[in-house]
Amino acid sequence: MPTNSPLTPETRAIIRAQMSRRGLLAGAGGLGAAGLLAACGTKSASTGTKAAAVTDLSDTEKIARWANWTLYLDYDSKAKNYPTLEAFKKSSGINVTYAEDVDDNNTFYGKVAGQLKLGKDIGYDIVTLTDWMAARWIRLGYTQAIDATAVPNKKNILPVLENVAFDPGRNNSLTWQTGFAGFGWNKALLPKGIHTLDDLFAPANKGRIEVLSEMHDTMGIIMMYQGVDISKTFTEAQFMNAIDFLQKHISDGFIRQVKGNSYKEDLISGDAIAVIGWSGDLFQLATENKDKFDFAIPESGGTLWSDNMMIPSTSPHRKNAEAVMNYYYEPAVAAQVAAYVNYVCPVQGAQAEMEKIDPVLAKSPYIFPDATALAKVKVFASLTPAEETKYQTAFQKATGN
């Protein structure tokens, strides 16, 4: 959500009207927005060795297995299914197994890295991972190239996302959604809200704070608080200064846990009252819990990220996976997803289709932010493989993971 203030009455009305998870860019105009989103790549990534050929069984095995994050696809709680996915299965004859198996980029990678190295099927035909992790998979040769002729709707990707540095031309990935990391909190317990790290680590909150296990978001927010521009090259000393800040607040007992998406359950139970979390998660929680929770971009700045669909190098159902990708890049379908998740949609034409679903949502700056709003968030700078290893190691040591 591109604001430093709590949700406005308009936004609360939107949340009540629509279930949501992640939303950011369709309709974002201006060079500022374009420049910021174009920076979502990882310039140090280079394509790795070509993966060994895998026999595509799509013609005889009409299945596709998709790993995604939680609360990240339109869901009908009464029917207990995903409406857009059900429509695709019916029209295509492809049975898609959809699993909310991604809670954290590193832990997911850890589960499948061994099989990827051995060239063994990891059990997924589509994985949805954040920019920097997508860059790693592509660099290591763990993805299959996307056949552009099989995904004609690829042309609908927003121009600012079309040529990210880690995958120029989007030959190995397609953006799923984009969003922000910032502060989330329980409004009943913290009526003044959380707008700075000083607010977050107020003495009264000790032991009831959780932060993301996603290094780029947690460390990015801390570093910006310390005056570092995370979108530009920074020093190891600046990063380690933020590590010291994080470690001190863990050892002092302020931070209860460092988590992926599962921090949501702790907010609901009351074990946590404030978090460094993701915008769409908080919108979703507010919707499902009578507007009990709120979200704000830190006054010192929040982070901007994108998640990307990729076909693993070991997938034996590439054509089926491409059919899924192509379907979700139809503007009308993308609008249905955006109406639920409320992260920024990467598909051109989705905003016009949203007008048919909900005119208020179509005009919302929280789903379709402009360049001014995007100026309040930054993309974490590109890291070399060596830097990524060094910084991730320091982060994991500090968090005890």
State the average pLDDT over residues 158-183: 89
**First-to-last CA distance in the chain?**
29
Q: Which residues of 119-137 are buried (b: 16+ CB within 10 A; e: fewer)?
A: eebbbbbbbbbbbbbbbbb
Looking at residue 71, its pLDDT comes to 86
The pTM score is 0.73
Q: What are phi and psi of 44, to 5 degrees?
A: -85, -10
Joined together, the tokens standing for residue 107 give: 């832990």
Q: In the predicted model, what is the mean pLDDT of the chain?
A: 86
Whole-number Å distance between alpha carbons of 339 and 15:
10
Residue of higher predicted confidence among 171 and 18: 171
Residue of higher predicted confidence among 20 and 121: 121
Looking at residue 261, its pLDDT comes to 83
**70 CB-near residues (< 8 Å, 6+ apart):** 100, 103, 261, 264
pLDDT tens digits for range 340-360: 988 888 899 999 999 999 998
Query: Are residues 51 and 142 in contact, defined by beta-carbon separation less than 8 angstroms?
Result: yes
- Among 41-55, 142-156, 229-243, 315-329, which is the least confidently predicted range? 41-55
pLDDT tens digits for range 183-220: 999 999 999 999 999 999 999 999 999 999 999 999 99
Domains (ranges, CATH) in the chain? 9-19+180-303+379-399 (3.40.190.10), 30-178+305-369 (3.40.190.10)
Residue of higher predicted confidence among 304 and 375: 304
Sign of the torsion angle spanned by Cα atoms 269, 201, 343, 40: negative
pLDDT tens digits for range 93-142: 999 999 999 988 989 999 999 999 999 999 999 999 999 899 999 999 99
Looking at residue 8, its pLDDT comes to 39
CA dihedral 287, 293, 296, 299 (to 10 degrees): 180
Q: 24 pLDDT exceeds 50?
A: no
Q: 372 pLDDT exceeds 70?
A: no
Looking at residue 7, its pLDDT comes to 38
- Among 230-234, 268-272, 322-326, 331-335, which is the least confidently predicted range? 230-234
- Among 73-87, 161-175, 301-315, which is the least confidently predicted range? 161-175
pLDDT tens digits for range 28-75: 223 234 444 444 443 333 444 445 689 999 999 999 999 999 889 999
Percent of the chain predicted with pLDDT > 90: 67
Nearest Cα residue to 308 out of 137, 71, 75 = 137
CB atoms under 10 Å from CB of 214, counted, come to 27
Looking at residue 288, its pLDDT comes to 87
Looking at residue 371, its pLDDT comes to 67
Q: 320 pLDDT exceeds 50?
A: yes
State the Rg of the chain over Cα.
Answer: 20
Q: 228 pLDDT exceeds 60?
A: yes
Whole-number Å distance between alpha carbons of 151 and 327:
8
Looking at residue 370, its pLDDT comes to 67
Looking at residue 33, its pLDDT comes to 40
The string of DSSP letters for 158-207 reads -HHHHT-TTSGGGSS-EEEEEEEEEEEEETTT-TT---SHHHHT-GGGTT
- Among 3-7, 24-28, 375-379, 382-386, which is the least confidently predicted range? 24-28
